[in-house]
Chain A
Amino acid sequence: MKGERLRQKLRGWWRTADQVARAQATEKLEWEVREMENIFALLTLGAFTGLPSPPMQLTLELLPLMERELLLMLEKVDTASDPLAELFSTLNVL
């Protein structure tokens, strides 16, 4: 009985440690994906931000599917004034 409980605890610890390790391993990649999604949104919806943009109909065709990218762009507005802080937090500096 005791052995079984110990085994379950060990399995729980292992699962948590595994999840933490996996999250750490993908953290930077996820940050990169977010950046790329932001670039995608900026390229596609550039007309709204004053950047060179694709023909308007391409933007309008994609717009209904880009809720996530739009929100990401809005989030970026908050961190845009302090990009170093964002980078340091991603790279775990200090």
Chain B
Amino acid sequence: MCSEIAEDPRRFFFFMGKGGTGKSTVSALAACFLAARGRRVLLLSLDPAHNQADIFDRPFSGRPQTVGERVRVAEVDQRHWINRFLHSVQDHVRRAYTYQSAFNLDHWLDVLHDSPGIEEYAMILAFQHYRQVEQDIDVMILDMPPTGLAMKFLRLPRLSLRWLTHLENLRQEILRKKEIVHRIRFGRRELETDRILGRLKQQGAFYDDLKTLFENPVATRIHLVFNPDQLSIRESGRICEGLKAIALDRCLHPVLNMASREEFRLPPELFPGRSVPRLSLSDCPLIGLSALHGYLGEQGGRMDFLL
């Protein structure tokens, strides 16, 4: 899978940051900018509170829609991915449990819709789906939800792998002991394959692939959008630390948005030794494709960092 990622020419640009810093607008600008330079772009909104419909001034759904030459936009319906996952679990449970009629599965699944961790998993499933289906694009731009959920999304592969490694080791130990028992009692090796171990390995491969992709600075760029104000800068500092803790700091690319004051100086300790691109505040609301292109016509040079 690692070599597959290395050979995959597609790029994945995540736009994240504090709520209200302009992630969605910068994502839309980035999509139009890259498309104008010949890239085939899919702009995917993973934020449950979608903004792309407001920015492009037209409704979107989970099915990518063309908004301009080489640009398509889709908004992920989180509920759809949660339902899809829970229904597959429901089917498996029904098939596997002999006494399943005792469960009221529908009621049980209703509760799971709101259980912790389901949101970011739905995002992961959606991301993997579009990654698998959209082979003919050059760049996938991901408009992320605000910091908390975005960090959970990026952390999920690593966190899951920690658990999976531990559970797999324990399962291997159980199977090793079971095999000894079997050999002593029946004088031969147990050849039956363990379905739980199989599922653990399958899950391990799934998350390992994602972790490898996220940690690959060539394939993945995490654009941290922030504004020239204290709150945004402080949260950006915390995001940097969070990304460092999960070894994603190599993929980090800060972008200062709405930088109306050219003289504004960034705290030197925030992104030491890095030049941070600045996008200036637009004079008019950036709504609709022509407004986006108008801004790019004036400020397009400032987005060269995407190339």
The interface of chain A, by Cβ under 8 A from chain B, is 22-23, 25-26, 29-30, 32-33, 36-37, 39-40, 43-44, 47, 54-58, 60-67
Q: Is the CB of A63 within 8 A of B89?
A: yes
**Is the C-beta of B305 less than 8 angstroms from some C-beta in chain A?**
no
Q: Are B117 and A36 in contact (CB under 8 A)?
A: no
Chain B residues in 8 Å Cβ range of A47: 115
Which residues of A have CB within 8 Å of B180? 26, 29
Cβ of B107 < 8 Å from any Cβ of A?
no
Let me know if A66 and B93 touch, CB within 8 A: no
Complex interface residues of chain B between 76 and 132 (CB less than 8 A to chain A) = 85-86, 89, 92-93, 95-98, 112, 115-118, 121
Q: Is there contact, CB below 8 Å, between B195 and A67?
A: no
Contact of A56 among B121, B171, B195, B203 (CB under 8 A): B121
Render B184-203 as a binary contact track against A, CB cut-off 8 A, 1 for contact. Answer: 11000000000110011001
A26 contacts B181, CB within 8 Å?
A: yes
Kindly specify which of B155-163, B214-222, B273-281 makes contact with the partner chain.
B155-163
Assuming the A-B contacts A61-B203, A64-B97, are A55 and B156 also in contact, with contact meaning beta carbons closer than 8 angstroms in the complex?
yes
Residues on the A chain within 8 Å of B95, using CB: 64
Which A-B residue pairs are the 10 nearest by beta carbons?
A: A64-B92, A54-B163, A64-B96, A56-B117, A57-B121, A26-B181, A60-B89, A55-B117, A64-B93, A33-B177
Contact partner, B167, options A30, A40, A57, A67, Cβ 8 Å: A40
- In the bound assembly, the distance between CA atoms of A61 and B117 in angstroms comes to 14
Report B's interface with A, CB cutoff 8 A: 85-86, 89, 92-93, 95-98, 112, 115-118, 121, 156, 159-160, 163-164, 166-167, 170-171, 173-174, 177-178, 180-181, 184-185, 195-196, 199-200, 203
The answer for the CA separation of A29 and B166 in the assembled complex, in Å, is: 21
Between B117, B159, B195, the greatest number of chain A beta carbons within 10 A of the residue's beta carbon is seen for: B117
On whether the beta carbons of B170 and A43 are closer than 8 Å, the reply is: yes
Given A56-B116, A57-B118, A64-B95, 7 more contacts at CB 8 Å? A26-B180, A26-B181, A36-B170, A58-B160, A60-B86, A62-B199, A67-B96
Q: A62 CB to closest chain B CB, in angstroms?
A: 6
A36 to B170, CA, bound (A): 8
Given contacts A60-B112, A65-B96, contact A22 B174 (CB under 8 A): no
